[in-house]
Structures are given as C-alpha cells and as structure tokens.
C-alpha cells in the first residue's frame, strides 16, 4: 500500500464519518417524529438559509470580522510582546507575572464592562476574541524563543556571531513551531470569544441572530447559525494549519 | 626549540556556585603541534568539557597559561575553531547543505565558494546525495557526520570535539572512528577529541592526555607510537594493550 493511497483512504474515511453523522441525524429526526422545534432535520436546517429576514451574509460577515480581526490582532501583538520579552529580560520579569495574573480573569466576565466602555458593536466583540487569543500566543512564543540549545549558543559564540544573527538564524526559526502551536489553540478560542461577545450585547453577528431566533423558536436557524460559526472557526484553523505546513518542517511541528 | 601550536601550562579552573568552590581542572600542562589528533580522556566529571570550553574561549580560567597560535602559526579565535558536540545539533528546519553552511553565514564568508566547499565536505564525510535532505531523514551517525562537515566548512585550524560519538551504537562508533581518521588525514587539521572511551582515545590519538577526577587534575600525557593510517586490527597489538593498560592504571581500574 503506497503512501498516497493511504492518504486517499484516510480522507475518504473522514468524509464518510461526517456523512454518516448527517444521515443519522436525518433518520433520527424523520423516523423518530421529532418536532421541528426540538430538532430540525438537515433539510430544514439548510432551508433556514432562505429566510431573507435573517440577513445571513451580513451576520456571517460581522462574526468573521470579529473572529479574524481579534485573532490577527492577538497574533501580531502577542508575537511582538514575546519578542520584546526575549530582548529585554527585565521587561519579561516585570510584565510576564502581570500577564499571568490578568489571564486568570475569565475573559467572559469582562463582557459587560466592554459594552460599558465600547458600546454595542463589532469592536467589543473583536476585543473579546483578542483577549482570549492573546495569552496563549504570548506564552508559547516566549517559550519557543527561550528554548535554544546551550551548545548551539556556544557554537555561535565561538564564531563571534552577533545577538541578531543568533536571533534570525536560530532563535526565531526555532520558535516558529511554538508560535504555530499557540496560534492553533488561539484559532479555536477566537470563535468562542466573539460569540460570547455577541451573546452579551450586539446588533449583528451569528450569535446575535441566535438570540433573535430563540425568541421565535426557529430551531432550524439556530442549528444553521451553530454550523456557520463552526465553519468560520474551521476556516481560521485551516488557514493556520496550512501556513504551518508551509513554514514549518514536518519534524519540527508540535502536535 | 620552536613554539608549539597550542600551549597549556598549569591551567586551573574553579567553578563557584552558591558560595562553594569546585575545582574542575588543575595542573593541565601539555602542548599540541599543528596536525596532531589529541585524545582527551578521563572519567565523567573530570573536567574534559570544561577544558575544551577554555580552549574554545567560552570559559575563563583561574590560573596558568593558555596560548593558541604563535608568530609562525597565526590563529584567529573567531575563524579558526570548529566545534562538534555529543549531539549533532543540526537545525531541524534547514536542509543538510544549509546546516553545513551555518558557520560560513555567521562569519560572512563569500557564499558561492563556501557552498562549493560545503558540497565537497559532505562528499568527504560520506553524505553525497543527502545534501537536500532534512536532518530527520538521516540516521544519528549520518547527522553527526553532517555536524563534522559543519565544523570544517570555514576551514578552521582547530577542531574541538566533545564526545562526538558518545550517543552512537558500538558498531557505528567504530565505523565513525575509522572515518574520522580518514577525514583528519585528508583535511589536515589539528583535532582535540574528548572521550571517556579508553580504546577510542588510544586508537584515534597521536597523543593522549589523561585527566582524573576527585580532585580533578591532569594525570598523564603521552605520544601514541602507532603509525597512521590505522586499521581496527591495531587494537589487538601488544603495544596498543600497553597504552590502554597505562590509562586504566591511572584511572585506578587495574
Ligand atoms: N557551569 C558549571 N558550574 C558549576 N560546576 C560545573 C559547571 N560545569 C561543570 N561543572 C562541574 O565541573 C566538573 C567537570 O565538568 P565537565 O563537564 O568538564 O566534566 P566532563 O569531564 O566533561 O564530564 P562528562 O564526561 O560527564 O561530560 C563536574 O563535576 C561538573 O559538575
Ligand atoms: Mg563533558
């Protein structure tokens, strides 16, 4: 059995398990005579997309902006913060414990405050996604930058290599797998952050839509919203994974 | 008498940790001529790595004299040291050829010439055809050979090796011993080779320096009068046995 053959089988089996889940869902609802309000069938769920009132595209766009925006901000500032920590040791000793303490705050608890400060809208929700993503990225990046083999350090020092050369040739590429492992964790958290923000107060987004249709008991639309939220998270995760595949050598990846 | 390439006189090193002093090297006195392959042998903790780091200019020391190079044999500490460690320490994200290039990049050597030399060296260490592979695609022994090529790429005068074959299995280790002798003969470098293998020390060395522990000090320094090129058979000769017994005796194991 060749490698690519195994790949195809792997892929096929994964698709199959998803299809089986949808089929099971369908038969359970149809033959179990489950009321639509309790659980819609896959068909009903897709049908919910046709209700123009729900303004799906607009809501998808709003949630996507929050998720991707919050994640991107966290990636940029998280990596920069970790870099500063690695360049200025005292800054790390000063600020890292503070970050650890701040991270103890359940970010969800900040929701009402963010609304007071920033009002309803995309901003507080983006910030919520950012707040949840930031710490794991700082932590893993800082750790990756710290993990330099002492003997490699000696090798560079015997050659009178500069601090900058050490950073560019050894520290940063060595930290890359760690950065990606942090970003993978953050990618999943980002969606949760944005949706919680929308639950707490918002006038747009899939989380907001879910609250709206909850009132009218349109369970099918809720199902659809959950699926779309999951897809947004999946796309972000997939992009991070793709970048990792491209930038990080197989052996160095952190599973 | 002309000056030796490397001259150590009564070198002493004391580590100070938490107010306590620990003598790691003492009475280290020996000379190394250019082109020699000197084995530094002794039990764990006797100060071999410490002495090697002093030679590499990575550690200071607390007494004695260390001189490398002389008027007729110039030595530039930034350019003339190649290091090989117990672990290959290749960068996982670089292909073998780019790993070998690392010292040349750090030193800012002309890239095209260095690259050509890196290919030659990979050929010399028996890795022709593996240049574009990543380290994980190579066995431990092959990775260590790549790290030897890396130590040679900037054409240093002195190669410092710290138990380079310590992590390899016995069979691979013997093979690497033979290959190291070939590389040494072709590259014409001065090599200081740290090991705790007594047979390995005598087999490889044109000279053997013995260190003992508790308290750490240099205990012996002798020339190995067995002609090069050597084959594994020399280990069965009477002369070879005398040398190894001499070391075992010093280490109190006879
Ligand atoms: N940075 C350090 N600070 C304090 N003590 C040290 C330090 N490095 C080494 N030592 C001590 O100095 C002694 C000599 O260490 P060294 O690493 O040179 O031994 P070695 O001969 O290379 O041993 P091995 O064969 O196990 O590698 C050891 O007892 C060690 O505990
Ligand atoms: Mg050692």
CATH number of the domain bearing residue A214: 1.10.3720.10
pLDDT in tens, A148-199: 889 999 999 999 999 999 999 999 999 999 999 999 999 999 999 999 989 9
For all residues of chain A together, what is the average pLDDT?
91
Q: Does B91 touch chain A (CB under 8 A)?
A: yes
Give the model's pLDDT for residue B13: 92
**Within a domain: residue B7?**
yes
The closest CB to that of B106, out of A156, A248, A249, belongs to A156
Give the model's pLDDT for residue B199: 93
For range B195-223, the mean pLDDT: 91
Give the model's pLDDT for residue A186: 95
Q: Among residues B104, B128, B156, which one ends one of the domains?
A: B156
Are B83 and A155 inside 8 Å of each other by CB?
Answer: yes
Contact B152, B159 (CB under 8 A): yes
For range B175-188, the mean pLDDT: 90
Handedness of CA A158, A159, A163, A165 (dihedral sign): negative
Residues A82 and A131 in one domain: yes
Residues B167 and B52 in one domain: yes
For range B189-194, the mean pLDDT: 95
Residues B64 and B164 in one domain: yes
Give the model's pLDDT for residue B79: 92
Nearest CA to ligand 1 atom 18: B47
The closest CB to that of A251, out of B57, B92, B107, belongs to B92
Residues B111 and B28 in one domain: no
Q: What is the ipTM of this complex?
A: 0.89
| A114-128, A213-227, B33-47, B95-109: segment of lowest average pLDDT | A114-128
What residues make up the domain containing A23?
Answer: 1-33
What percent of chain A is modeled with pLDDT above 90?
Answer: 69
Residues B180 and B68 in one domain: yes
What residues make up the domain containing B62?
Answer: 1-75+157-254
B154 lines ligand 1 (CB under 6 A): no
**Within a domain: residue B80?**
no
The C-alpha atoms of residue B111 and residue B126 are separated, in whole angstroms, by 22
In B103-229, DSSP assigns E strands to 158-162, 190-195, 207-212, 217-223
Give the model's pLDDT for residue B131: 94
Secondary structure (3-state) at B129 = coil
Residues of A in contact with B135 (CB under 8 A): 251
Give the model's pLDDT for residue A201: 80
Question: Which of A182-209 are b and which e, b meaning 16 or more Cβ less than 10 Å from the residue's Cβ?
Answer: bbbbbbbbbbbbbbbbbbbbbebbbbbb
Of B169 and A237, the structure prediction assigns the larger pLDDT to A237
What pLDDT band is residue A94 in, cutting at 50, 70 and 90? Answer: very high
For range A75-98, the mean pLDDT: 94
Q: Does A173 touch chain B (CB under 8 A)?
A: yes
Nearest CA to ligand 1 atom 25: B44
For range A88-106, the mean pLDDT: 91
Residues A86 and A67 in one domain: yes
Q: Does A121 touch chain B (CB under 8 A)?
A: no
Residues A203 and A169 in one domain: yes
Q: How many domains does chain B have?
A: 2
Does residue B222 surpass a pLDDT of 90? yes
Contact A125, A198 (CB under 8 A): yes
Chosen from B106, B109, B148, B150 to mutate, greatest number of chain A CBs within 10 A: B106
Residues B222 and B115 in one domain: no
Q: Does B57 touch chain A (CB under 8 A)?
A: yes
Q: Among residues B156, B187, B202, which one ends one of the domains?
A: B156
Does residue B1 surpass a pLDDT of 60? no
Give the model's pLDDT for residue B252: 78
Report the DSSP beta bridge partners of residue B191.
Answer: B37, B159
Does residue B34 surpass a pLDDT of 60? yes
For range B204-222, the mean pLDDT: 90
Write the CATH number for B69.
Answer: 3.40.50.300
All residues with CB under 5 Å from ion ligand 2: B 49
Does residue A250 surpass a pLDDT of 80? no
B50 lines ligand 1 (CB under 6 A): yes
Secondary structure (3-state) at B219 = strand
Q: Among residues B101, B129, B156, which one ends one of the domains?
A: B156
Does the bond joining B152 to the residue before it have cis omega, within 30 degrees of 0? Answer: no
The C-alpha atoms of residue B201 and residue B236 are separated, in whole angstroms, by 15
Secondary structure (3-state) at B28 = strand
Q: How many domains does chain A have?
A: 2
The C-alpha atoms of residue A189 and residue A133 are separated, in whole angstroms, by 6
Residues of A in contact with B102 (CB under 8 A): 155, 169
Q: Which residue of B has its CA nearest to A155?
A: B83
Residues A48 and A17 in one domain: no
Residues B139 and B163 in one domain: no
Starting at the edge strand found earlier in the chain, the sheet holding B207-212 runs B81-84, B158-162, B190-195, B37-41, B207-212, B217-223
CA B44 to chain centre: 16
């Amino acid at each position: 059995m060749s490698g690519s053959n195994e790949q195809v089988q792997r892929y096929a089996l994964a698709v199959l398990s998803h299809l089986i889940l949808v089929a099971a869902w369908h038969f359970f609802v149809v033959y179990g005579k489950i009321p639509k309000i309790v659980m819609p069938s896959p068909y009903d769920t897709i049908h919910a997309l046709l209700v123009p009132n729900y303004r799906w595209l607009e809501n998808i766009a709003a949630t996507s902006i929050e998720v991707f925006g919050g994640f991107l901000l966290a990636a940029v500032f998280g990596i920069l913060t970790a870099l500063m920590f690695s360049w200025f040791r005292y800054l790390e000793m000063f600020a890292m414990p503070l970050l650890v303490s701040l991270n103890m705050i359940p970010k969800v608890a900040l929701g009402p405050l963010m609304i007071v400060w920033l009002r309803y809208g995309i901003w507080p929700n983006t910030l919520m996604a950012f707040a949840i993503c930031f710490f794991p990225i700082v932590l893993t990046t800082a750790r990756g930058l710290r993990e330099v083999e002492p003997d490699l350090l000696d090798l560079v020092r015997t050659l009178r290599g500069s601090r900058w050369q050490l950073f560019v040739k050894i520290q940063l590429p060595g930290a890359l797998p760690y950065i990606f492992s942090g970003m993978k964790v953050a990618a999943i958290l980002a969606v949760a952050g944005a949706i919680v923000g929308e639950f707490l107060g918002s006038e747009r987004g899939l989380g907001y839509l879910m609250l709206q249709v909850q009132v009218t008991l349109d369970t099918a639309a809720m199902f659809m919203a959950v699926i779309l939220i999951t897809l947004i998270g999946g796309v972000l995760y997939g992009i991070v994974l793709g970048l990792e595949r491209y930038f990080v050598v197989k052996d160095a990846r952190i599973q | 008498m002309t000056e030796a390439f490397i001259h150590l006189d009564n070198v002493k090193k004391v580590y100070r940790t938490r107010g306590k002093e620990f003598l790691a090297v003492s009475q280290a006195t020996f000379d190394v001529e250019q082109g020699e392959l000197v084995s530094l042998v002794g039990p764990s903790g006797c100060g071999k790595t410490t002495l090697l780091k002093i030679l590499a200019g990575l550690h200071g020391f607390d007494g004695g004299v260390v001189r490398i190079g002389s008027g007729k044999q110039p030595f530039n500490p930034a350019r003339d040291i190649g290091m090989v460690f117990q672990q290959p320490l290749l960068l996982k994200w670089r292909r073998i050829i780019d790993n070998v290039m690392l010292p040349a990049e750090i030193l800012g050597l002309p890239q095209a010439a260095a690259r050509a030399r890196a290919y030659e060296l990979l050929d010399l260490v028996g890795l022709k055809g593996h240049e574009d592979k990543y380290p994980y695609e190579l066995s431990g022994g092959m990775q260590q050979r790549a790290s030897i090529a890396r130590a040679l790429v900037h054409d240093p005068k002195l190669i410092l090796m710290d138990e380079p074959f310590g992590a390899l299995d016995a069979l691979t280790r013997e093979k690497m011993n033979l290959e190291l002798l070939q590389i040494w003969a072709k590259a014409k470098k001065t090599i200081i080779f740290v090991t705790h293998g007594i047979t390995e020390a005598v087999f490889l060395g044109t000279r053997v320096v013995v260190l003992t522990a508790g308290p750490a000090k240099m205990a012996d320094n002798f020339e190995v009068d067995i002609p090069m090129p050597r084959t594994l058979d020399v280990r069965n000769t009477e002369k070879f046995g005398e040398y190894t017994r001499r070391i075992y005796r010093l280490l109190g194991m006879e």
